[in-house]
């Protein structure tokens, strides 16, 4: 089932939240994706699912910088397996201004209730954005930059060990082939293509990180300065390899080496919009100046 949370999101205007200020420490390089044919893959046959079955809590998070928006009828994939992040041209559920894009997030869950929990939210153009999905005690928390939204599904108790999708490997930046959503009449509803931009870091954890809302609704959130590995880290890619590297090491020590395909590689040059003074763009500026 896909849940629409636009009514909940609109309450942000009513609550007049005091949003936290972004303040980041420098870190290393980025994964550069041209949006044409490149992507990175972690094969399922070799590594299995990143989040094991019967995992009751988890956190999946990413820092990314979009350089273009999806074309009409397209979704640009940022990462996908049990958790999916991407940009979509289907913006009817997003309240966008001229400097924003519509982002979709979803998690595939299994338990007494099986299905897909999904959300569309606004992210920033030409800036660094933080996204996370956090599961704790049956509640799904969606984080987008400096906001966190919680919704509760009390009967959901585990992450799916088997997701019924045609692409079951872990992908970053796009699938190995374009994927089409087709209805029963054979009409193509959308096409999932590749992400054009940069990705700074991705982390999977088997715990619910950060201070979470006590109940349903939207609250301020202060994104992490950088991702570190600890005993709860399932996989961590910082993309700190030398520029041009196409094998991305897993800093967790669990051996989940991502493989860049068709030119997906690291770069030391970070995208920063020089005309922007937004708080999220500070992340890229600090990192760039640290070299």
In whole angstroms, what is the distance from residue 19 CA to residue 221 CA? 7
Which CATH number goes with the domain that contains 76?
2.60.120.200
In whole angstroms, what is the distance from residue 210 CA to residue 203 CA? 14
- Residue 169 in domain: yes
As for how many domains the chain has, the answer is: 1
Question: Tens-of-pLDDT digits for all 291 residues of the chain?
Answer: 444 444 344 444 334 455 555 544 436 789 999 999 999 999 999 999 999 888 889 999 999 999 999 999 999 999 999 999 999 999 988 989 989 999 999 888 776 666 667 889 999 998 899 999 999 887 889 999 989 998 866 555 667 666 666 789 999 999 998 887 776 767 766 789 999 999 999 999 999 999 888 888 889 998 987 899 999 999 999 999 999 999 999 999 999 999 999 999 998 745 455 444 444 444 444 444 433
pTM more than 0.75 = yes
The percent helix, strand, coil of the chain (3-state, each to 5) is 10, 40, 50
- Residue 189 in domain: yes
Report how far Cα 289 is from the mean position of its chain's Cα atoms: 25
- Residue 114 in domain: yes
- Residue 1 in domain: no
Structural domain span for residue 84: 6-289
pLDDT of the residue at 195: 97
- Residue 196 in domain: yes
- Residue 49 in domain: yes
Q: How many CB atoms lie within 10 A of CB 96?
A: 12
Nearest to 29 by CA among 261, 285, 270: 270
Residue 97 exposed, middle or buried by CB count within 10 Å (0-12, 13-18, 19+): exposed
In whole angstroms, what is the distance from residue 201 CA to residue 128 CA? 11
- Residue 213 in domain: yes
- Residue 274 in domain: yes
pLDDT of the residue at 256: 98
Residues 31 and 45 sit within 8 Å (Cβ to Cβ): no
């Amino acid at each position: 089932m896909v849940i629409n949370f636009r009514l909940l999101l609109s309450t942000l205007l009513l609550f007049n939240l005091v949003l936290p200020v972004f303040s980041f420490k420098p870190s290393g390089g980025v994964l550069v994706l041209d949006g044409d044919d490149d992507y990175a893959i972690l094969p399922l046959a070799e590594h299995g699912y990143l989040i094991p079955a019967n995992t009751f809590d988890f956190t999946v998070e990413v820092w990314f910088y979009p350089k273009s928006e999806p074309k009409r009828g397209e979704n640009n994939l940022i990462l996908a397996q049990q958790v999916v992040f991407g940009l979509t041209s289907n913006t009817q559920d997003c309240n966008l201004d001229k400097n924003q894009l519509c982002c979709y997030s979803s998690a595939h869950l299994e338990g007494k209730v099986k299905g897909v929990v999904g959300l569309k939210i606004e992210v920033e153009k030409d800036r660094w954005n933080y996204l996370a999905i956090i599961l704790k005690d049956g509640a799904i928390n969606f984080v987008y930059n400096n906001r966190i939204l919680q919704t509760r599904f009390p009967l959901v108790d585990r992450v799916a060990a088997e997701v019924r999708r045609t692409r079951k490997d872990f992908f970053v930046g796009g699938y190995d082939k374009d994927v089409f959503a087709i209805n029963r009449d054979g009409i193509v509803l959308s096409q999932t293509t590749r992400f054009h931009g940069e990705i700074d870091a991705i982390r999977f954890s088997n715990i619910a990180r950060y201070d979470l809302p006590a109940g349903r609704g939207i609250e301020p959130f202060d994104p992490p300065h950088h991702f570190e590995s600890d005993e709860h880290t399932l996989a961590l890619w910082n993309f700190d390899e030398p520029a041009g590297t196409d094998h991305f090491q897993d800093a967790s020590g669990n051996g989940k080496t991502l493989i860049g395909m068709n030119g997906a590689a690291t770069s030391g040059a970070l995208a920063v919009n020089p005309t922007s003074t937004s708080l999220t763009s500070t992340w890229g500026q600090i990192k760039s100046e640290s070299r």
